C-alpha cells in the first residue's frame, strides 16, 4: 500500500514538473517583459500630457520671487485646474500653458493654505481634457508612482518610482499646512514640479506633488524646494474634496475642537483646553484620553484632526474618552476653525467690526452642506470672527452664526447689515442695545447686544 502511494506521488510530481516546463516555454523573455513595462509607462505619459499644464506666476510687487513656475492638471472638463496654494499665492497674474502650446490667463477660484491646495479656472468654448482620479485610500506602499511636472521650465518632465509611505506628517517647517496626510514617493520632484500629478500605472491621479524633504548641512530635517530627497504628494481624495468646496463656495469650512493633543498607547491625550472652545463646552477636559470618535477608534493625532476637520459645523460628535481610568461618552458640538488659521483677513474699517466686533461674509452655496443648522431658504450673513471683549463677544454671538435681522430689519447681505448699523450708529448716543435675530447650532434665537459698557 505504501509503495502504491509513493508511485502516485512520483507520477503527480512528474505531471507538475512537465506542466511547469510547458508553461515556461510559453512565457515571454526578460526583454519582452521589460519592453511591456516600458510601453506601459510611455502610454500613460502620452495619455496624460494633454491634461497637465505649466503654470507661470507673476507675483505681487511685495512678494518674492517675482516670477514663479509650477505645474497643475485639469480635473474638470470646464477648465478647473488643481495645483498647490504655494504656487499661486499672492499672484498678480497667472498664465497657463497646455501641451499644444495654447496659452490662457487663469483666475484663482479659491485657495486653502491649510492643505496647500488651490483651484484655477481657464476658459474656452470646447471642453478640456481631464485626468481620471484614483481612490487614494487604496494606494499601496510599494506600488509604482509616476510624477509629471514642469521643473526648471523643462516642460513635461517625467520621473518614476514607487510609493514609499502613506499618512506622512512633516509639520515642522510647514506650520501653515495644518492638515497633512502625505503620500511619500521616491519619484523625483523638483522646483516647478509642485502642483503636478502623481499617477498610478492606470494613469489615474493618486496625489498632487507638493514638496520634498532633505538633510541640510547641519543634518537637520527641513523641507526644501529642490535637491534630492523624499517627495510628498497630497492624496487626491483630500485634494478633490478641497477643490470641490473651493469651486462651490470659494472657501473651505472645517470642523474645530480647539485642543492640543499628545499621542499615547491608549489614544490621544488632551492637553490644555480653552474655556471658550467647542471641546471644553462639550465636556472635554485636560488629560482626557480620546480613543474613539464617532464610532471610529483613533490613536494618531493626525487621524483625529482630519476626522474633526471633515465634521459638519454645528453637528454633535460622539467622543469616547478615558478619564482617570474610567470610560466616558461625550456629545461635543463641533465648531468652525478660527479665521486666523485660514489666512483670512478682517475688514477693520467695516461698521460691523467697529460697532459690534463682528467680521461677516455673504452666504454661499457650500454653507448649506457644512453648517447643519442652515437650509436652502435661509438668507443673511455669516459671522466669520468675533473680536474679544467687543459687544458681540460679550453677547456670546458664536462664529458661524447666521445674522437674519437687526432690530426687526431683515438682513440679506453685507450691504444691508452695514446700512442698518450705520443708521443705528448715528443714534448711538441714545441707543444702548441692539436685538439680533440669528441662527446657530443653538437654534434660532434673539440676542441682545449691549452697546454701552
- How many Cα neighbours within 13 Å face the side chain of 342? 20
Coil, strand or helix at 244: helix
Task: Kindly state whether residues 234 and 299 are assigned to the same domain.
Answer: no
From 48, 71, 193, 194, the catalytic residue: 194
Max mean pLDDT among 17-31, 289-303, 411-425 falls in 289-303
Residue 442 among the catalytic residues: no
Q: Residue 250: pLDDT above 90?
A: no
Residue finishing a domain among 336, 358, 391 = 336
Task: Kindly state whether residues 112 and 207 are assigned to the same domain.
Answer: yes
Residue finishing a domain among 226, 252, 278 = 252
Are residues 144 and 200 in contact, defined by beta-carbon separation less than 8 angstroms? yes
Q: Which residues, listed in sequence order, are joined to residue 262 by a DSSP beta bridge?
A: 269
Bond prior to 195 in cis (omega within 30° of 0): no
| Run of H or E residues at 286 | none
Task: Kindly state whether residues 326 and 354 are assigned to the same domain.
Answer: no
Bond prior to 65 in cis (omega within 30° of 0): yes
Coil, strand or helix at 311: coil
Domain count, the chain: 3
User: Which CATH number belongs to the domain containing residue 177 in this structure?
Assistant: 2.40.10.120
Task: Kindly state whether residues 192 and 324 are assigned to the same domain.
Answer: no
- Domain containing 432: what range? 344-450
For 335-357, the pLDDT digits (tens) are 888 776 666 666 778 888 888 88
Under the banding of pLDDT at 50, 70 and 90, the label for residue 26 is: low
Under the banding of pLDDT at 50, 70 and 90, the label for residue 240 is: very high
User: Which CATH number belongs to the domain containing residue 297 in this structure?
Assistant: 2.30.42.10
Which residues are CB-neighbours of 231 under 8 A, at least 6 positions away?
A: 147, 161, 184, 185, 186, 187, 188, 189, 209, 211, 212
Is residue 122 domain-resident? yes
Is residue 32 domain-resident? no
Task: Kindly state whether residues 92 and 213 are assigned to the same domain.
Answer: yes
Residue 116 among the catalytic residues: yes
Q: What are the φ and ψ backbone dihedral angles of 394, each rounded to 5 degrees?
A: -65, -25
Q: What is the arithmetic mean of pLDDT over 186-204?
A: 89
Residue finishing a domain among 336, 353, 373 = 336
Task: Kindly state whether residues 375 and 234 are assigned to the same domain.
Answer: no
pLDDT of residue 208: 95
pLDDT of residue 77: 95
Q: Residue 390: pLDDT above 50?
A: yes
Is residue 226 domain-resident? yes
Which residues are CB-neighbours of 401 under 8 A, at least 6 positions away?
A: 382, 383, 438, 439, 440
Q: What are the φ and ψ backbone dihedral angles of 359, each rounded to 5 degrees?
A: -105, 130
Task: Kindly state whether residues 427 and 325 are assigned to the same domain.
Answer: no
pLDDT of residue 29: 82
From 48, 71, 85, 86, the catalytic residue: 86
Report which of 73, 84, 205 is spatially closest to residue 146, judged by C-alpha positions: 205
For 136-192, the pLDDT digits (tens) are 999 999 999 999 988 766 778 899 999 998 877 765 444 444 666 789 998 888 777
Is residue 36 domain-resident? no
Are residues 303 and 267 in contact, defined by beta-carbon separation less than 8 angstroms? no
Task: Kindly state whether residues 262 and 225 are assigned to the same domain.
Answer: no
- How many Cα neighbours within 13 Å face the side chain of 160? 12
CA distance 214 to 223: 6
From 48, 71, 85, 116, the catalytic residue: 116
pLDDT of residue 219: 42
pLDDT of residue 170: 64
What's the CA angle centered on 150, arms 147 and 152, to 5 degrees? 120
Is residue 161 domain-resident? yes
pLDDT of residue 130: 96
For 74-110, the pLDDT digits (tens) are 999 999 999 999 889 888 899 999 988 899 999 999 9
Out of 16-20, 24-28, 111-115, 362-366, least confident range: 16-20
Amino acid at each position: 500500500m505504501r509503495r502504491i502511494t509513493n508511485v502516485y506521488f512520483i507520477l503527480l510530481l512528474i505531471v507538475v514538473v512537465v506542466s511547469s516546463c510547458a508553461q515556461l516555454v510559453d512565457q515571454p523573455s526578460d526583454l519582452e517583459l521589460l519592453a511591456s513595462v516600458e510601453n506601459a509607462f510611455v502610454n500613460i505619459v502620452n495619455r496624460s500630457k494633454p491634461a497637465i499644464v505649466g503654470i507661470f506666476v507673476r507675483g505681487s510687487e511685495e512678494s518674492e520671487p517675482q516670477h514663479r513656475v509650477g505645474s497643475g492638471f485639469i480635473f474638470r472638463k470646464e477648465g478647473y485646474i488643481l495645483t498647490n496654494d504655494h504656487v499661486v499665492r499672492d499672484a498678480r497674474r497667472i498664465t497657463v500653458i497646455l501641451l499644444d502650446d495654447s496659452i490662457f490667463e487663469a483666475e484663482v477660484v479659491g485657495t486653502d493654505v491649510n492643505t496647500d491646495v488651490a483651484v484655477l479656472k481657464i476658459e474656452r468654448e470646447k471642453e478640456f481634457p481631464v485626468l481620471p482620479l484614483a481612490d487614494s485610500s487604496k494606494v499601496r506602499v510599494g506600488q509604482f508612482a509616476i510624477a509629471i511636472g514642469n521643473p526648471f521650465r523643462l516642460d513635461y518632465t517625467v520621473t518614476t518610482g514607487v510609493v514609499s509611505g502613506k499618512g506622512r506628517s512633516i509639520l515642522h517647517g510647514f506650520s501653515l499646512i495644518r492638515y497633512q496626510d502625505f503620500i511619500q514617493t521616491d519619484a523625483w520632484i523638483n522646483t516647478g514640479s509642485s502642483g503636478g500629478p502623481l499617477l498610478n500605472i492606470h494613469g489615474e491621479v493618486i496625489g498632487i506633488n507638493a514638496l520634498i524633504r532633505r538633510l541640510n548641512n547641519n543634518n537637520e530635517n527641513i523641507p526644501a524646494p529642490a535637491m534630492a530627497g523624499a517627495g510628498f504628494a497630497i492624496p487626491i481624495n483630500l485634494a478633490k474634496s478641497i477643490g470641490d468646496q473651493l469651486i462651490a463656495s470659494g472657501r473651505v469650512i472645517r470642523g474645530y475642537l480647539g485642543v492640543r493633543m499628545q499621542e499615547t498607547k491608549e489614544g490621544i491625550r488632551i492637553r490644555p483646553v480653552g474655556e471658550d472652545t467647542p471641546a471644553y463646552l462639550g465636556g472635554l477636559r485636560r488629560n482626557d484620553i480620546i480613543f474613539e470618535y464617532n464610532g471610529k477608534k483613533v490613536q494618531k493625532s493626525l487621524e483625529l484632526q482630519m476626522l474633526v476637520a471633515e465634521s459638519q459645523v454645528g453637528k454633535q460628535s460622539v467622543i469616547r474618552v478615558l478619564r482617570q481610568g474610567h470610560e466616558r461618552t461625550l456629545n461635543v458640538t463641533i465648531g468652525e476653525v478660527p479665521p486666523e488659521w485660514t489666512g483670512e483677513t478682517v475688514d477693520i474699517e467695516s461698521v460691523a467690526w467697529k460697532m459690534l466686533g463682528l467680521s461677516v461674509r455673504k452666504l454661499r452655496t457650500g454653507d448649506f452642506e457644512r453648517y447643519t443648522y442652515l437650509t436652502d431658504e435661509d438668507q443673511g450673513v455669516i459671522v466669520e470672527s468675533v473680536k474679544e471683549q467687543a459687544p458681540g463677544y460679550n453677547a456670546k454671538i458664536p462664529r458661524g452664526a447666521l445674522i437674519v435681522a437687526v432690530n426687526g430689519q431683515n438682513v440679506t447681505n453685507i450691504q444691508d447689515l452695514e446700512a442698518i448699523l450705520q443708521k443705528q450708529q448715528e443714534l448711538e448716543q441714545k441707543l444702548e442695545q441692539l436685538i439680533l435675530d440669528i441662527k446657530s447650532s443653538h437654534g434660532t434665537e434673539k440676542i441682545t447686544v449691549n452697546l454701552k459698557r
